């Protein structure tokens, strides 16, 4: 059994995203002649303040997210997005390319070297043994997966337009959000902030 850290990696973003947003938005007002090298931030601030956020949909970004199955169940509830997720039907974790072991995400609420950690890790190893016993009994992975834990590591590519990323961050960075999805959301926000600082300035997202 292997334990890995959750992560979110930007794999693609609309090039010059804020310039594209400004150009699209100014088409509404036919004010393209006002575009300069430094005009996008002020324009974007204006459209956000006016609630004209449909203009933000002209830019998008894709992330490779590594988290557990429980968190991806929450992520895919965001409907205006595209997803491609690691499949436990077709991935046989008994194969060499998976290291012949399952990989899990340690919940943030369980600290190392505690009684809770011992209980959790013991349960994970029991799940792993049960899974491989089923695989050895020539049960197909799509059925053997029934004993895999909810904190099984999974990879998912998530693509959203900027308007939906703002909505995602507003919900998933909130104090009421699950602590483990907050970890992912914070990493996504920090990377989007580099790509489009005006769009994802926290005061603008809230």
Known catalytic residues are 172
- CA–CA distances in Å: residue 200 to residues 17, 56, 106, 162, 185: 12, 11, 29, 9, 12
- CA–CA distances in Å: residue 148 to residues 20, 71, 114, 138: 44, 15, 23, 16
d(CA 178, CA 153): 17
| Contacts for 43 with CB less than 8 Å, ≥ 6 apart | 22, 25, 26
């Amino acid at each position: 059994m292997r334990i890995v850290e959750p992560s979110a990696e930007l794999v693609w973003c609309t090039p010059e995203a804020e310039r594209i947003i400004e150009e699209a938005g100014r088409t509404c007002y036919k004010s393209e002649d006002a575009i300069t090298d430094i005009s996008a931030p002020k324009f974007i601030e204006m459209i956000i303040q006016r609630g004209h956020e449909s203009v933000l949909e002209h830019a998008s970004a894709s992330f490779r997210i590594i988290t557990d199955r429980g968190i991806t169940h929450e992520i895919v509830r965001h409907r205006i997005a595209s997803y491609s997720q690691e499949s436990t039907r077709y991935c046989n974790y008994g194969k060499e390319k998976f290291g012949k072991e399952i990989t899990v995400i340690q919940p943030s609420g369980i600290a190392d070297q505690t009684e809770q950690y011992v209980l959790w890790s013991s349960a994970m190893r029991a799940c792993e043994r049960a899974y491989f016993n089923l695989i050895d009994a020539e049960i197909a992975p799509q059925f053997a997966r029934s004993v895999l834990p909810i904190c099984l590591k999974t990879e998912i590519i998530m693509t959203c337009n900027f308007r939906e990323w703002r909505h995602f961050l507003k919900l998933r960075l909130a104090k009421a959000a699950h602590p483990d999805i907050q970890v992912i959301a914070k990493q996504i926000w920090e990377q989007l902030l580099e790509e489009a600082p005006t769009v994802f300035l926290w005061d603008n997202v809230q």
